[in-house]
Structure formats: structure tokens, C-alpha cells
Structure 1
């Protein structure tokens, strides 16, 4: 049964768009195997990307987040996209590993209209570079973090991926960021740094590097540290957020909530969740607005989606599902077009049902 409130949203609040899946790193934990997945073979051209972005302008979205891959590989295109969106009042954010985030690039992004930027910082130098599978990455990202804090008004987020070799660095990273912020002019603005953590996703390259996954006891200790930090938040200069990557699957499958964001891959594929290998359309076939009006906003009520996400109770179930179907961003995943297929027909996934 569909959620009776789906008609309220004439468009999603947010679009997350992988502007590229090409990458200059091969991180041990990358959930979508950036740089090595099938999407990189058929990415949207610059003109196709700009056409897609222009189609979003009339939707007056709250936020568009540019993801990857490494977003700054297409820096010039990224700046053009932001400039297209800003007149409509859309908030623009992005994620990057920081290697290509020179001072000049960061300033160009802000001048284009970028509002927020997220870097990954997975511990101190030894731990961060080990997870990122390349030396010198820590130095690059710390330089970029310092520059953003001291020379821009960009809202800053930091993603910290827990592993069994970096958990002891969490408090050090927290204190280091807090000190940088405290010594900057930004401390008086009322802004703050978001420090985001979530369990390591057992997808993509992480499935081939299970030796880096924290133990349950390590996770419990980390969550306790996060709770302690949340109690005083270092004068609120650091806001620690612990996320559950399958929370949206558990909530949305019961129709207690309806879809308020759309996720588009670098080849134009529209997916139900960034963590599930289920494609429900492509922007080169129909516009995102057409998909939205044709049922994307109510996708969680469809029996095919309901069945697949009903198997999700933990991140370990995600691993099992991708083993059954395909890994994220691989061509052999489930692919339907909701404007051409009846996603209430469970025969569409008969092979999965029998597995």
C-alpha cells in the first residue's frame, strides 16, 4: 500500500549525483569500487551532465550533492553545474578526497556558489594513508582542511571511516579539528564542523579487505566515545554524527516515510539506494521529473523493492544481497525502468526469490 502523503512532495528535497566514478585512489574500503566499476565505461558526457543539471533547476531543490568517484577530476564541469543551480536557490555540496583540492580550486568552487564541502579524514597520517592505499594523501587533505577553515565560508564536514587500525586515532582527530577551528576566525560565526561516522560498509573493495573491519567490541567502544563527545561537543565547534547506513531501508520499507531524495549515478542510472544494486531508470531515457511523477516518489511501496529491502536488517545482509545479485555499480545488477515495468510484479526478480 502506498504512503498517502507521497503527493505532497512535487520534487525530491535532495539529489545526490555521482558526477564521475573515476578516481585517483583505490581506497581499501570503497563501497562502490570507484575507478574500477562498470559505470566508468559509460559516464555521461559534459553536455549530458549539464543538460541534466539544467533540468533540475525548475524543481527548485533544497540541495544537490556532487559525489563520486573523485569529484574534482571533473572540476571545471562541477563549477559549471554549481553556477547553473545557484540562481534557483539550490544549496550545493560536494565530497572529495582532497588530493586535488588546491587553494585555487577551493576558491574557484566557493566563487561558483558551492556551500559545503566534505573531506575524508580516517585517522592520523599512517592510518589515513593506509586506508587510502597511497602515501601523501593525509598531507593533502589536512592542507585543504586548514585552507577551508581559515580562508572560506564553506560549511565543512569530515567523514571518518572506522577500521580496526584507526579507532585509537578518533579522539586525536577530534581534538585536532577542534583546535584548528578554535584558532580560526570561524569560531565566532556560529558555524561548526560535522564529524560523520558510520559502520564500514561490506561492499565493493571492502569485501576484498575484510581484515580491516572493526570487531563488535571496537565498534561499541567507538560509539561510547562518540556519546561522550556529544555530551559537550567542544563548545559546539564539532558536531559528531554516528549514522546507520541501512536506517533508511528499515524505515522506508514500512512506508512510514516516503522517498525525499533521488540518487543518480555517473552513467545516468537512478537507484533506490546508494547501497543497493537496483536501478529503476536512467535520465537519458526520461527526465528525473518524469520519473518522480511516475512513481519514484513512491518507490518504497512497490512489491519488488519491498521484498528486496525486507532482507535488510544489518550491514551483513547488504553483503549477502550483493553476493546474490551483483556488487554496487556493476552491470549485472538488477535493472528496471519504472516507467516501463510494473515493480509490483515479483516475477521480475524470480531468480532472487529462488536464491
Structure 2
């Protein structure tokens, strides 16, 4: 049996759940969930960052919410993380990503940035509810490619109204990368729409099975098309995959996700909290056996209920939406993750 790891390989922190948009598909109800009133303070975030630096993870991701709403805090966190040799990435909707901000982030130590681009103009702005946003995102992409060395990632969420935009988006991004003269590839990430959070209330945006098949065929074609394959790392993500593999293979918990209020979750996509950094440090949780949390009966019982996107929605319906009151809280240190009676409520 391999040695039990004592620290995470990667950490993702929701630096805030406040948001300047109300996107139709947002899985964690950013901007209007129950976490926004109880977020970690600047000092608490910096204390957490300092403790993470001492654990020496390979990578750290600033997630949200809209991360750049706490830009100054992000920059100070970046300085500390990069000084400790941690590779840092950030996700953003692009609305606040102007030239000055992107240069500040790079100087502070940011390595890569991900913007969302959910189709061409009409599709993207319909998804995100703001006229003019499309041009702002394209400007942010141009600045990233032409004025910085930040690695660029693009997230594309398929919907019933944007599937046919995928190849034109790829063509546009390819042409931007070519004109920049850069030799690296753009990471282009696609995964099925999860019926969680606001997507549950806007379920008509979900693509049909035929639309999904068409999209997957397009992705596969582009992977082998010589006009595209040198410009992208195309990723078709499966949000269920880790919930199936990790318990079955008894994989160690090396990718930590922390909500904006300090909650540590077994998975970003199930409403199960296994600790909070306000109660115990991340290192204390690892010392208490967090690496083997996928072996715990409560965690595996929930994960085993989720073998499809539809079952993700079912679990959230029975317990709570992500980041809403009602999340199942079982502290790894203070409670018993082996007591399945806590699941009797559903």
C-alpha cells in the first residue's frame, strides 16, 4: 500500500462567491448564495494562504464567484504563493480583466488564466445576461495573448443554443493565437452542463442528447484536424468521473477545494462539507487522515449515488444546492464520517 500523503497536490479556493454577473448555468449560485455573507476576511485568507505555502502544493487556483472582485487580495496571495514556488492560476468572467489588471496579476506571480467563452456574441451574452460582455472578454483574451506570457485557458459550457457556435469559437481563437505569434496552445475545456444551482432553474438551456453527440463529434474531428490540432489542448471533462473512480480505486485526496467561507468539500459538485479552515488548519485535517477521505462510508455512499448528471441534480434536490443552507456538514476531525445514519434524512 502506498504511503499516505500528508499534503495536497493542488488547492482550489473560492476567493469569493460575490459576482458581477448572474449566469444562467452557474452551479454554485454565485452572487446570491448563502456563503456571500460569511466569507473569509482578507486576514483569514492570507493566514490560509500562508499555511498552504508551508504545505508546498504544486498548484493553486483562485476560483469564484468573480475572483477579480477581490483583486488586491488575490495579488497579495499570489505574491506569497509564487514566492513559495506554487504554480498559480485564476478563473474569471473577463469583465474586470483589463490590461493593467492582467499585468499586475502576472507581476505578482500568476501563471495562467481561464476565461469563459460560451459561444459567439448572442449566445455568450444570453448565457451571462450582459450586453457588451462578449467584446470585453475578447479584449481580455487579446491582451493575455499579446501583452503577457500568461497561459490561456477557455471554458465553454454547452447549451441548447450554443452548440453550433463551438467550431466558429475555435476558429476565432485559433486565428487570435496565430496572429499573436505564440507557440503554446490554448487549453479549451468543455464539460456537460450540470443541473445544479441556477442551471436547475434554467433547465431548458440543457442540450439534447443529439446536440451533445454533435458537439462531441466536432471535438473529436478538431483534435485530428491539422488546421486546429496544433493550437488547442481540447478537453472534454466529465464532472462525474472522479466520483466514480476515487472511491472504487481508493485514491488519495490530493486535490482540495475550499469554499469562500472556509468549508472544505469532498468534491466541488456534491453538497458534503468535511471540515472548515476556521475550525482547524488544512494541515491538521491532513494529519487527521484527510488523504483517505474517499474511504469514508459517508463520502463513498454519496459518491456511489452519482453516476450521471441527472443523479447530481437528485442529490442536490435531496440535500441542498451547493453553497446553500442545508449542505451536509460532517467534520473529519470533530464528527464521524463512518456514521451512515447522518444520511437518513434522504
| TM-score normalised per structure 1 | 0.96
Deviation at 1:70, TM superposition (A): 0.1
Q: Which residue of 1 aligns with 2:278?
A: 284
Does the CA-based 8 Å contact 1:92-1:114 persist in structure 2?
Answer: yes
Deviations 1:212-249 (A, max 9, x none): 00000000010000001111362511111101011000
Give the number of aligned pairs.
345
- Tell me, in whole angstroms, the C-alpha distance in 1 between the residues paired with 2:239 and 2:133: 26
Find the aligned partners of 1:120 and 1:160 in 2 and give their Cα distance. 6
CA contact (8 A) 1:255 1:301 kept: no
Report what 1:211 is aligned to. 204
Question: In 1, are the aligned partners of 2:88 and 2:111 still within 8 Å (CA)?
Answer: yes
Which of residues 164, 171, 179 is equivalent to 1:168? 164
Conserved 8 A contact 1:6-1:297: no
Shift of 1:5: 2.8
Question: Distance between the aligned counterparts of 1:240 and 1:92, measured in 2?
Answer: 21
Q: Distance in 2 between matches of 1:268 and 1:26?
A: 23
Q: Report how far residue 10 of structure 1 moved.
A: 2.2
Tell me the equivalent position of 1:295.
289
Aligned equivalent of 2:342? 348
2:224 maps to what in 1? 231
Contact 1:97–1:119 under 8 Å retained in 2: yes
Q: 2-side partners of 1:44 and 1:248: how far apart?
A: 28
| Displacement after TM superposition at 1:256 (Å) | 4.3
Aligned residue for 1:186, secondary structure, equals coil
Aligned match of 1:67: 63
The alpha-carbon deviation at position 177 of structure 1 amounts to: 0.3
Q: In 1, distance between residues paired with 2:287 and 2:181?
A: 46
Q: Is structure 2 residue 198 aligned with structure 1 residue 199?
A: no
**For residues 319-338 of structure 1, what are the structure 2 equivalents within 5 Å?**
319-338=313-332
Shift of 1:184: 1.1
SS class of match (2:115): strand
Q: Are the equivalent residues in 2 in contact too, given 1:31–1:328 (CA < 8 A)?
A: yes
Aligned to 1:5: 2
Secondary structure, in 3 states, of the residue corresponding to 1:5?
A: coil
Which consecutive residues of structure 1, in runs of 5 or more, have no partner in the other structure?
none
List aligned pairs for 1:1-355, cutoff 5 A.
4-5=1-2, 7=4, 9-187=5-183, 191-232=184-225, 234-352=228-346
Q: C-alpha offsets along residues 41-73 of structure 1, whole Å, 9 cap, x if unaligned?
A: 100000100010001111111000000000000
d(CA) in 1 for partners of 2:220, 2:253? 29
CA distance in 1, matches of 2:236, 2:302: 25
Residue-by-residue CA offset, 1:153-211 (whole Å, 9 max, x unaligned): 10100000000101111000000000010111213xxx110010000010000000011
User: Is the contact made by 2:8 and 2:255 (CA closer than 8 Å) also made in structure 1?
Assistant: yes
Which segments of structure 1 move beyond 4 Å, counting only runs of 4 or more?
Answer: none
Q: Is the 8 A contact 2:159 2:205 kept in 1?
A: yes
With normalisation by structure 2, the TM-score equals 0.98
1:348 CA drift (Å): 2.1
Task: Give me the whole-angstrom Cα distance separating, in 2, the residues matched to 1:54 and 1:232.
Answer: 45
Kindly indicate whether the alpha-carbon contact (under 8 Å) linking 2:223 and 2:229 is maintained by their aligned counterparts in 1: no
